[in-house]
Amino acid sequence: MRMFIVAGGPGGEPPRGLLPQPDDIVIAADAGAHHARVWGWPIHLLIGDLDSLDAAEARRLREAGVPVVIAPAAKDETDLELALERALATDAESIVITGALGVRTDHLLANILLLARPDLVGRDVVIADGLETVRLLRGSEDGGEACAVTLHGAAGDLLSLLPLGGAAHGVTTEGLLYALENETLYPGRGRGVSNIFLGHAARVTLRVGQLLVVHTQQPEAAT
């Protein structure tokens, strides 16, 4: 089972190749319910302060039997955080967050930085919007066992590697035009930006640090 969380970012698009299956659960965070409805997705839970969702739309969901959890407007967490905490309380194998890469820079950064939460360690969590996916690769703290991720796409797709919280050491890539071999990527430098898929898969290995992995599909390659 996967958990899908639909945030209410303006212009949110359904992620290409990541659609809810019958056994999956969809949580809508406030105006994310509007996105889910437009995309034709089911909604199994609506949560948030509902300051962004049209009242008539919220009423229709209640009448359809969708559970609604209303949070106070004055709160420490965003609606997306509340939805994520609900998802973390389940035994979901993976969590897909959508509608989170909107036009406001503060919301965009806050949503991406959710991936660095300590309680997500060991969880398969990805932010996916339209042609773009973002995930966080976590290396070890002492240079021990490296971690790796394999991404599936098509020749011409873009892949950017952005260190988070400090330098990322021992970065090695396979299947990309500009190969990295046990290199260090530093915050504020563009060494890992806009690499290119050579084929249908690319692999990134990280030894120490944290690395945001941003995969952008080419429109003609999307299915």
Amino acid 145: pLDDT: 80
For the cut 50, the answer to whether the pLDDT of residue 166 exceeds it is: yes
DSSP assignment of 106-136: HHHHHHHHGGG-GGGTT-EEEEEETTEEEEE
Laid out side by side, the sheet with 195-196 consists of 68-70, 45-48, 25-29, 2-6, 94-98, 124-129, 132-138, 210-216, 158-163, 195-196
Q: Do domains 2-130 and 134-221 have the same CATH topology?
A: yes
Amino acid 92: pLDDT: 86
Amino acid 223: pLDDT: 47
Q: What is the largest CA-CA distance in the chain?
A: 57
One-letter amino acid of 102: G
For residue 168, give the H/E element and its range. Answer: strand 168-174
Sequence-separated (6 or more) residues with CB below 8 Å from residue 167: 184, 185, 186, 187, 209
Q: 114-131 pLDDT, tens per residue? A: 999 999 998 999 999 999
Decide: 211 and 185 in contact? Cβ < 8 Å. yes
For residue 39, give the H/E element and its range. Answer: helix 32-39
Helices assigned H by DSSP within 44-101 = 55-63, 79-88
Per domain, the residue ranges of the chain are 2-130, 134-221
**What rounded mean pLDDT belongs to the chain?**
93
Beta partners for 212? Answer: 136, 162
Could you list the beta-strand ranges (E) of 2-119: 2-6, 25-29, 45-48, 68-70, 94-98
Sequence-separated (6 or more) residues with CB below 8 Å from residue 40: none
Q: The whole model's pTM is what?
A: 0.93
The highest-level CATH class for domain 134-221 is alpha beta
Three-state DSSP state, 221: helix
The CATH-assigned architecture of domain 2-130 is 3-Layer(aba) Sandwich (3.40)
For the cut 80, the answer to whether the pLDDT of residue 90 exceeds it is: yes
Amino acid 222: pLDDT: 45
For residue 38, give the H/E element and its range. Answer: helix 32-39
Decide: 26 and 44 in contact? Cβ < 8 Å. yes
For the cut 80, the answer to whether the pLDDT of residue 218 exceeds it is: yes
